[in-house]
Every structure is written in structure tokens, then in C-alpha cells.
Amino acid sequence: MTNHFSTQAVHAGEERRKPYGALTTPIVQTSTYTFRNTAEILDFMHRHAAGDPNLRDEYGRYSNPTQSAAERKIAALEGREKALLFASGMGAITTTLFALLSSGDHMVLVNDVYRRTREFARRYLPRWGVEITLVPIDDPDALTAAIRPTTRLIFSESPTNPYLRVMDLAQMVEIANQNNVTTAIDSTFATPLNLSPLEYGVDLVLHSATKYLGGHNDLLAGAVVGADEILEEIEEARGVLGGVSNPNEAYLLLRGMKTLDLRVRRQNENGQCVAQFLEKHPAVRRVYYPGLPSHPDHEIARGQMMGFGGVVSFEIDGDMEETGHFIDRLRLPYVGPTLGGVESVVEQPSALFSLERQERLEAGLKDNLVRYALGIEDADDIIADLDQALAGRAA
């Protein structure tokens, strides 16, 4: 079978001949799996001890056939044999960090990562004796200087949220390999279509599958992809901590991933068109989009990414209140804190972060910043809507 991404998105990970002759992978709605007798249990335990990769299912917290199909598809899209599915993107991140870090360890974290990732690292990990150092995404000297003998992990996003900064993956991996440090990238904004971090030698790739992989704003899920020896530790932690997905979510994720190639290509096109329109508009102060030459990481993005994604962040010529009024004048997007779905969604990040201006500024969130997560609507309609909302602000 061909290895083209679009074909993989439709067929990879799923059995050709499914139960009952069904076309789609069925939802296996069960929490436990029975054994015919004690001999079958003992055979299962012996095969488990031997590390049999074709082991049957035992209990829903460890595996499920629908979940396993979704994991195989994600793994195929990232070019690996195995992936792990979680109940949410944060479940994937926190379980991974718990599995890889111990008391006395140190982690380097890029300072522009998702705020909840940063919060978990700074607020909770120190309780277990893990130290954290924050570094800028574009300063390899700071990254090198931050590494200690106890450093176990470098964690970044690419692109980041909400300013869409892009990590130089080859440079990060080179620094990590020189110091025998594991690397992890949250690639939610990029998707497997636009970026392949594992090809650069990154050890782990994480996704909030709630976003582009699901694509329809109707599920919560997270995923981790990487080498088997690292995933074994994370899988064991998942079974203990219990942050597993369920067969219904896995089914929705399987369905969503079949159109991933089509959706993301349209969102890439919309992102580029909208970013170029906004950059020329007199009511817009600045646009953050890796596909623009004005973006600080444009050259890195051009070298690493197939497309630049469906999220455009920008600053309008106004304050907190005026920015809110601009968002309220938009007629096409929904207002909310998500991205990656077929419907466009817009938010004012500072409004959802804190009511205290100083806290917003300390987090790097300007009051006039807008994050527009583009759906698959026609770009001309999106631009016309933006134009009328910006004109209303100017009037």
C-alpha cells in the first residue's frame, strides 16, 4: 500500500476485515474482558511476562480494541509503530512527565509553552522534588547553559501558543544529544501533516488530539508517540494513574483523523490568506504567523514545516475593551478557547487568563491580542467578516 499521508489517514491502524463485516472500526463498549478458564489466564500471564506484542485485552484501563486502532493510526501518521492514547492532551503531558522525572531530576521548559503545561511544571513538579528552568525558544545558548548533570528532559512546543514561535528542532536535538537528555515536543498546533519532529531525532511527540486530530470539537483526547522503550514507562504510568481514553472518544478520533489531510490543508491555506490580509490592514498592529516573512521564526518554519497551520494571532489597534468589541462584531467564528476544528473559533487570550492586568502582562499576554483558530470555511468569507469587524472598530 502507498505511504502517502492522506491514504494513511484513512486506512492506517485499522484491520482490513473488521468484526461483523463492518466498514468502520466498531466501538467495543466494555470495561473488562473475560477468560474462558484459568488455563487461559495463565497463558495470558506467561505471554504478558514475555512481552508478547499481540497480547489480548485484559481490562479497560490498560487497553481497548477501538482505542488501539486509534493509537495505531496516530503512530502511522507520525511514522512510528506505537502511540499511546489518553483522556486529554494534559493527561498525556502530565503522565509523561510523571513517568520520566523523579525526585532530584531537572527539566528545561521553553517559556512560551501552553500555560497549563507551564503551570503543572512550576506548581506541581517541585512538590515531588523536580526542578524546572524556563528558557526562551530562540536562545540556544540559554538552552545549553540551563542543562545540568541532573537534567533529564527538554520540553517545548512547536509552534507555541499563542505566538506561534517555532523551535529549531535540529539544534535542540543536537544540544540534547551532547548532554544525553531526552527531548519532547508538543506538536498539537503543527499536526503530523505539517511537522515530523521524530524525523529530526526528537524522542517524544505529544498531541492534544482534541484539536486537529479529532477536528470536530466533539471529543477530548491526548496522545504520545515515540520509541518503544520510553513508551513502555509511560504506558505503565498510564495504567496506574488511570488517565485513559474511552472507546467512544477513540471512535470519534478515528473518524476525525480520516479527513485530517483534507482539513489541515484547507486550514493551512486559510491561515496564509488571513495572515497576509491582516498584515496589510491599517487597524492591525502586528500579526504572528510562521508563514509570514515578518515572523521571527519564518526561516526555521520554512525549513521544517510542510504548512504553517490554521491559527493566526494578531494585535489590533486598541485596548482590552476595544479588542473585546472587535471580537463581538465578528459574525462567522464562535468565541471560545479551542482550535483545530472545522468551525472557526476566536478568543482574546488575556480575557480568559486573568482579570488582573499585571498577571496578564507577566504571562506575556497583551490585552489587544487576538487568537483566531481558522476552520475550513471559505477564506473569502473569513476575510470579509474580519474586514467588516475591523472597519467597525475604525468607525
Per-residue model confidence as pLDDT tens digits over 161-195: 999 999 999 999 999 999 999 999 999 999 999 99
- Across the range 326-336, mean pLDDT stands at 97
Domain range for residue 316?
260-394
Q: For 259-277, what is each residue's pLDDT tens digit? A: 999 999 999 999 999 999 9
Q: Please check whether residues 244 and 111 belong to one and the same domain.
A: yes
Q: For 201-248, what is each residue's pLDDT tens digit? A: 999 999 999 999 999 999 999 999 999 999 999 999 999 999 999 999
Q: How would DSSP label each residue in 98-154?
A: HHH--TT-EEEEETTS-HHHHHIIIIIGGGGT-EEEEE-TT-HHHHHHH--TTEEEE
163 flagged as catalytic: no
211 flagged as catalytic: yes
Q: Please check whether residues 162 and 270 belong to one and the same domain.
A: no
Domain-embedded: residue 50 = no
Domain-embedded: residue 43 = no
- Above 80 in pLDDT, residue 360? no
Q: Of these residues, 73, 114, 265, 297, which one is catalytic?
A: 114
Mean model confidence pLDDT for the chain: 94
Domain-embedded: residue 59 = no
Compute the distance between CA of residue 281 and CA of residue 185 in angstroms, rounded to an integer.
34
Q: Please check whether residues 264 and 252 belong to one and the same domain.
A: no
Q: For 62-102, what is each residue's pLDDT tens digit? A: 999 999 999 999 999 999 989 999 999 999 999 999 999 99
Q: Of these residues, 82, 152, 211, 360, which one is catalytic?
A: 211
Q: Please check whether residues 237 and 273 belong to one and the same domain.
A: no
73 flagged as catalytic: no
User: Could you tell me the end-to-end alpha-carbon distance of the chain, in angstroms, rounded to an integer?
Assistant: 57
Q: Of these residues, 18, 47, 56, 61, which one is catalytic?
A: 61
> What's the pLDDT score for residue 395?
41
261 flagged as catalytic: no
Q: Of these residues, 186, 203, 297, 367, which one is catalytic?
A: 186
Query: Between 379-394 and 260-280, two packed helices, what is the crossing angle to 10 degrees?
Result: 30
Domains held by the chain: number: 2
